Amino acid sequence: MLEQTRAIWTNVVLAVCVVMTALTGFVVGYGVVWFQIGGAPDAEDYQISAGGYAAAAALLAVALPALVAFRGPRWLVLGSSWISAMYVVLAVRSALLAADAADPGPGINTALDGIGGVGLMPWAWVLLALGAAGTWRLVRGRVREPTRRSPSPT
């Protein structure tokens, strides 16, 4: 019973962290470019966007071993992989737009600002820890087996 409760809570925490990381990646990546206050996005905005998308893609990729090792729901595994791949494409697009931007910006922001915007969230650290634990379980070969009910003695 304790093992089932632990498994349920681990999957709930994984689901919340994956969803929050995906949302944070979207807010940092998309928000910094498209929610400008007076003006067009410059090269620095696209650099921040590329960093945010790349950080979210990396964190979602790190979550995959945890989702496999802790037997996360299939929809979460597929969603995390798909969104991670999509964020890689968006990060490359933002990096290319930063290279082609006519306005270089004031020179105070870089892709590290986008990486920090995603990576410094509390759920990112939990996701990183669970990803490390999941990788460790996969390497050690200790993937949790589905729990089975023992037949009643009657």
Each residue's pLDDT expressed in tens, for the chain with a length of 154 residues: 777 788 888 889 999 999 999 999 999 999 888 887 667 788 888 999 999 999 999 999 999 999 998 888 899 999 999 999 999 999 999 999 988 876 676 777 788 888 999 999 999 999 999 999 999 988 888 665 555 555 656 5
Who contacts 154 (Cβ-Cβ below 8 Å, separation ≥6)?
none
Q: Which two tokens stand for residue 135?
A: 């990788």
Residue 111 lies in a domain: yes
Alpha carbon distance 87, 113 (integer Å)? 17
Domain hosting 85: range is: 2-33+42-140
Q: What is the pTM of this model?
A: 0.83
Dist CA 28 CA 17 (whole Å): 16
Enter the DSSP assignment of 102: S
Is 153 within the bounds of a domain?
no
Q: Please state, in angstroms and rounded to a whole number, the distance separating the CA atoms of residues 141 and 154.
A: 36
Please report whether residue 26 resides in a domain: yes
